[in-house]
Amino acid sequence: MGERYDTRDGAIWMDGKLVPWRDANVHILTHALHYASSVFEGERAYNGRIFESRKHTERLLASGRMLDVDIPWTVDEIEAAKYEVMKANGLTDAYVRAVAWRASGEDMGVASQRNPVRLAVAAWEWGAYYGDAKMKGARLDISKWKRPSPETIPCHAKASGLYMICTMSKHAAEAKGCSDAMMFDYRGYVAEATGANIFFVKDGEVHTPDPDCFLNGITRQTVIGMLKERQVKVHERHIMPEELESFEQCWLTGTAAEVTPVGQIGNYNFEVGALTRDIAEGYEVKVRA
């Protein structure tokens, strides 16, 4: 069994000050716990530097605005908090989680405008998200759940409520011995994994779903830039399920996933090919530069 996340030692930054890890708690009637009024970021630090840190902080504030959760901290203040909590915990290589939420207050219904918005930042050591799949290639299930229409959710926010079907999909995948699940969108196009974007290779060119109804990941954007630097043609487009059979290679991207090769999705198999390995290795070099 792994170490519990609520009984660790160290410090977590909450609302402007460091508090002991085990005391970083909220009330049971916190609005976010009941109505998912929460946004967050996942970031990785390498050699003491958080990769694309400001982009993550800017997205956190933008996600909050999309959910009417106005975070009362500036980019610079949040940046300082992230490095303060890493220093307090003696970390240089770490996963950093910033989370903002509607707290407990005068409202305890759907509306919560009188409740304060709180912010916390935690950091901890976290290895490869998919374990040894980074070498062998992850095995993915195909989820029965679909990414919803932009008319139903703020799909470009990194909001806690949008991960409910991701958790359910990943649980179902793990029950089948898979690392993760690939999801289609509400129209039936290939979308993403439960917490990572997806890329495919065919005839030396790369195809990746158009993020028009899910998060356009910061790692995704970084990898597209790397591919273009290598003069690899990238097609950002809608991908039909029947196309999976024709792709030769596949990988996932995300802050936690980094660049992880995929060996299988459902009944479709992929090789961990030269381009996949090159991008995975190039990303490792880039984040540690």
Question: How far are the Cα atoms of 5, 20, 34, 109, 270 from residue 25, in angstroms, in the given order?
Answer: 12, 10, 16, 21, 44
Element (H, E) at 60: helix 53-66
> What are the structure tokens assigned to 243, written together?
């196309």
Residue 29 tokens read as 């009637």
Alpha-carbon distances of 182 from 111, 118, 245, rounded to whole Å = 34, 33, 15
Strand partners, 176: none
Q: Which residue has the tokens 């932009």?
A: 150
Percent of the chain scoring above 70 in pLDDT: 100
Q: What is the DSSP letter of 159?
A: B
pLDDT band at 145 (very low <50, low <70, confident <90, very high): very high
Is 90 exceeded by the pLDDT of residue 51?
yes
**3-class DSSP assignment, residue 56:** helix
Read off the pTM. 0.95
Please name which of 165, 125, 174 lies closest in space to residue 145, comparing C-alpha atoms. Answer: 165
Closest by Cα among 215, 147, 151 to 187 = 147
- Tokens encoding 73: 């901290």
Amino acid at 272: V
Asked if residue 167 has pLDDT above 70, the reply is yes
CA–CA separation, 181 vs 167, rounded Å? 10
Tokens of 164: 């409910």
Q: What is the pLDDT of residue 130?
A: 80
Residue 119 CB contacts under 8 Å (≥ 6 apart), including other chains: 14, 15, 71, 72, 73, 78, 81, 98, 99, 100
Beta strand 268-269 with 205-209 is unpaired
User: CA-to-CA distance for 101 and 35, rounded, in angstroms?
Assistant: 10
- Band of pLDDT at residue 198, cut at 50, 70 and 90: very high
Q: Regarding beta strands 138-147 and 180-185, do their DSSP bridges make them parallel or antiparallel, or are they unpaired? A: parallel
Decide if pLDDT at 133 tops 90.
Answer: no
Distance between CA atoms of 161 and 164, rounded to whole angstroms?
6
Question: Domains in the chain, start-ordered, CATH in brackets?
Answer: 11-124 (3.30.470.10), 133-287 (3.20.10.10)
> Where does the pLDDT of residue 1 fall: very low under 50, low under 70, confident under 90, or very high at 90 and above?
low
Beta-carbon contacts of residue 176 (< 8 Å; ≥ 6 apart): 141
Candidate list 17, 158, 170, 202, residue with the active-site label:
158
**Residue from 161, 188, 183 nearest 170 by CA:** 183
Calculate mean pLDDT across residues 181-206.
98
Average pLDDT along the chain: 96
| Beta strand pairing call for 17-20 and 258-265 | unpaired
> Is the model's pLDDT at 224 over the cut of 90?
yes
Q: How do the residues of the chain divide into helix, strand and coil, expressed in percent and rounded to 5? A: 30, 30, 40
Q: How far apart are CA 156 and CA 143, in angstroms?
A: 20
Specify whether 55 is catalytic: no
